[in-house]
């Protein structure tokens, strides 16, 4: 009898010990230390004021709260987001450096830069998407066009005379306009900036006439009348601007341009940390509070698994190759 009790007690203790070890493993760095035990850096590869920065700050604040540590935004803009993304790729894979990856940094850059210093697939551990947002074609209020049809006619009447801003050469904001140029057969000159924020400022100031910007960056200015919205790039109208038609319904069937935003860690980050970050980010993006915040900024919350995000990156790289080739964009 005593022998049976000892065996049962030993089994129970072993079970408790195993459960405790599993629980600790999900919160450890792999070296036995609790994760996180210091502030976490979130690299945003664009300047303040752009969509990546806006969404990164919204989600980053909540992630820091859920992890019980400060999350510090590190804006490293330039070269279409590739400078900051390279820094993230080379960071120590310990869970204390993350980055907001986008269609620009993880898709377009792979097709535009012949000597890109990071591999969007091999150098990162994908965590999850958190949001997607339409591209919105806006013009300076002084431009004599109130519809996309009028804008196309205006550009065609002055080929090579009007300018459009972008968040950088090879950014998705440039590709959105390049796709329209091909579809409409227009000649408008590209002026690259270091992010959506500076590009929007230049358009509002009249230095350039147009911008195909991501919704969170340009929506407040469109609603305030500082920019005039002409069309959205998604297949359906945006709930944020229900009276603004899509490019497709304005005469260019099949046109679609949007921006996705997701979280990535450097490749080699311990799996228990990746699992915890994925779980926390999904909960944040799916929360009613965050969904409301996204909608106010013209974005939609969306999540997926790390494997699904990896497949999305590869599929989008393949999709945009033809657009990049047709636009003749190639950088070192």
DSSP state of 184: H
- Strands 124-139 and 97-102, sheet pairing: unpaired
**Burial readout 167-176 (b: 16 or more C-beta within 10 A, e: otherwise):** bbbbbbbbbb
Structure tokens at 60: 């980053």
CB 306 within 8 A of CB 278: yes
- Say what the pLDDT of residue 244 is: 96
Reported residue count of the chain is 332
Q: What is the pLDDT along the chain (332 residues), one digit of tens a residue?
A: 444 434 343 434 344 343 444 344 445 555 557 999 999 999 999 999 889 999 999 999 999 999 999 999 999 988 889 999 999 999 999 999 999 999 999 999 998 888 899 999 999 999 999 999 999 999 999 999 999 999 999 999 999 999 999 988 888 889 899 999 999 999 999 999 988 889 999 999 999 999 999 899 899 999 999 999 999 999 899 999 999 999 999 999 999 888 999 999 999 999 999 999 999 999 999 999 999 999 999 999 999 999 999 999 999 998 888 778 877 877 65
Which CATH code is given to the segment(s) 40-133+258-327?
A: 3.40.190.150
CATH of domain 135-250: 3.40.190.10
* Strand (E) or helix (H) holding 105: none
Q: What is the pTM of this model?
A: 0.82
Stretch(es) of the chain classified as CATH 3.40.190.150: 40-133+258-327
Q: Which residues pair with 71 in a beta bridge?
A: 40
Give the chain's mean pLDDT. 89
Q: Tell me, what's the pLDDT at 78?
A: 85
The distance of Cα 224 from the centroid of its chain, to the nearest Å, equals 24
Pick left, alpha or beta for residue 97 (phi over 0 → left; psi -120 to 50 → alpha; otherwise beta): beta
The residues with which 100 forms a beta bridge, in sequence order, are 263
* pLDDT tens digits, 293-307: 999 999 999 999 999
DSSP conformation class of 58: H
């Amino acid at each position: 009898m005593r022998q049976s009790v000892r065996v049962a007690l030993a089994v129970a203790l072993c079970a408790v010990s195993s459960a405790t070890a599993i629980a600790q493993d999900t919160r450890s760095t792999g070296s036995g230390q609790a994760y996180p035990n210091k502030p976490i850096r979130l690299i945003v590869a664009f300047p303040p004021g752009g969509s990546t920065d806006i969404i990164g700050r919204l989600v980053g604040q909540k992630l820091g709260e859920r992890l019980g540590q400060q999350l510090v935004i590190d804006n490293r803009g330039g070269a279409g987001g590739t400078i900051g993304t390279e820094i993230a790729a080379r960071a120590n894979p310990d869970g204390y450096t993350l980055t907001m990856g986008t269609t620009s940094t993880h898709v377009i850059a792979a097709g535009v830069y012949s000597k890109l210093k990071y591999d969007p697939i091999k150098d990162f551990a994908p965590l999850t998407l958190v949001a997607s947002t339409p591209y919105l074609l806006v013009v300076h209020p002084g431009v004599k066009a109130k519809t996309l049809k009028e804008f196309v006619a205006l550009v065609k009447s002055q080929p090579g005379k009007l300018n459009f801003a972008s968040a950088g050469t090879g950014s998705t904001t440039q590709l959105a306009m390049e796709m329209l140029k091909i579809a409409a057969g227009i000649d408008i000159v590209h002026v690259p900036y270091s992010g959506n924020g500076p590009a929007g400022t230049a358009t509002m100031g009249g230095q350039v006439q147009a911008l195909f910007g991501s919704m969170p960056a340009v929506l407040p200015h469109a609603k305030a009348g500082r920019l005039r919205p002409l069309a959205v790039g998604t297949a359906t109208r945006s709930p944020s601007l229900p009276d603004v038609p899509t490019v497709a319904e304005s005469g260019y069937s099949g046109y679609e341009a949007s921006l996705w935003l997701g979280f990535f860690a450097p490749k080699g980050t311990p799996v228990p940390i990746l699992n915890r970050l994925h779980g926390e980010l999904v909960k944040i993006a799916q929360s009613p509070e965050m969904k409301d915040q996204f909608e106010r900024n013209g974005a939609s919350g969306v999540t997926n698994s790390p494997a699904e995000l990896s497949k999305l990156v590869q599929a989008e790289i393949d999709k945009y190759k033809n657009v990049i080739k047709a636009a003749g964009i190639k950088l070192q």
